Amino acid sequence: MTTNEDRAEAEELKFFIRSASAEGEPVGVPAPYLKLLNTSDIPDGVMIEVGQIKDGVRHLDWNGRLYCESGSIRGEADYTWTRKYWYAPLGMEYYLDLIRRGIEVRQAQRGDVSLSHFEDDGAFISLTFEIRTTEQNLGAAYEAIKAVCHEIEETPNAISDDIGKRVADAARRLSGLFQTDIGQLLSRVETSKSPDDKGRSLEELISRLFEKIPGFSVVGRVRTKTEEIDIEILNDSMDPRFRRESAILLAECKNWTERCGKNEFVLFKEKIENRSDRCSLGFLISWNGFKTTITKEMLRGSRERTLVVPISGADVRKAIATAAFDTVIAECWRQAVNT
């Protein structure tokens, strides 16, 4: 239902859009207000980015721009990434080559997309393509455009997930922990002396526990120079609490002697947001718990789509003792949602 406040906001947005220049900066529009705008509200050539301003920075819900041309709403999807911040198991050049091939096939078969730009300078790759719609409402066009992007991404994502799963399985075997049971892993997490052994033990323990949750499977592990461990989890859960979340979930394990605080929380949240719209939910596992500073940070971001769920060593021990990791995870998720 459209409220008077929504109508007032829509009229203000229409004013800014009509006043914008085709050569100027894109106009930012929050996703909920797109449905209040139609082709008649958008001058030809004026670009619209979907997102909102937070702390003086525009946070995008979709990497691309919407615009009108001759009474038709179009989208320009933007796949510009740097190799330095590429985390997927499939190399960026191979992933975007598959995206490019998908665009070419769809263009030949359906004619509603076309490649606009492709550049690889060794440090980053920039690929943009146009999606044409017949929708007159900006909200409906946005959903149609995102559906096309997801369809083109489907095969590259599936291949990347499969490679990640194979790498994760190989890592388990090479780590020497593949045959170790849960109880032994827990003991190693609590008694290991070296940072490397502490990290590997916690990585294996958390991976095993996530794989016990119906619909979850570990598809990738990345060990960083600072001994932080990222675990990518493919979310195919039928649980209504997790089904509405993203296709990829992220977990980071920290088996430190001290508690995690605000800085670690913020950095992990940025990692989630860098997963190119495939990830909106992450689990930050800190074996020795958390500082009170993360509660304030969670309150600051309570209206954002990205959610970080803190999980302590005490939570993990409880999950193992009760043989109910899914229940404990769901409770940690509920607490994070309600913070």
Domain segments of the chain: what residues? 4-160, 179-337
List the 307-312 sheet strands across, edge first.
216-223, 229-235, 248-254, 279-286, 307-312
The pLDDT value recorded for residue 164 is 84
CB neighbours of 250 closer than 8 A, spacing ≥ 6? 230, 231, 232, 233, 268, 271, 272, 275, 279, 281, 282, 283
b/e map 49-71, b = 16+ CB within 10 Å? bbbbeeeeeeebbbbbbbbbeee
The pLDDT value recorded for residue 70 is 83
- Please list the alpha-helical segments (H only) found in the chain: 4-19, 92-109, 138-174, 182-191, 195-211, 240-243, 262-273, 293-300, 313-322, 325-337
The pLDDT value recorded for residue 227 is 45
Cα separation, 71 vs 76, in Å, equals 16
The pLDDT value recorded for residue 276 is 59
Contact 204, 177 (CB under 8 A): yes
pTM confidence score: 0.72
Contact 249, 273 (CB under 8 A): no
How would you write the pLDDT of the chain (339 residues) with one tens digit per residue?
A: 556 777 777 788 888 888 887 778 888 898 888 999 999 999 988 999 998 776 666 778 889 999 998 888 999 999 998 888 787 888 999 999 999 999 999 999 999 999 999 999 988 999 999 999 999 999 999 999 999 999 999 999 999 888 888 887 787 777 666 667 888 889 988 888 888 888 888 988 998 899 889 999 888 776 655 445 678 898 989 888 888 888 889 999 998 888 999 999 988 988 888 775 678 899 999 999 999 888 877 776 555 778 899 999 999 999 999 988 989 998 999 888 887
The pLDDT value recorded for residue 303 is 57
Cα separation, 269 vs 2, in Å, equals 32
CATH code that applies to domain 179-337: 3.40.1350
Contact 98, 67 (CB under 8 A): no
239: DSSP letter? S
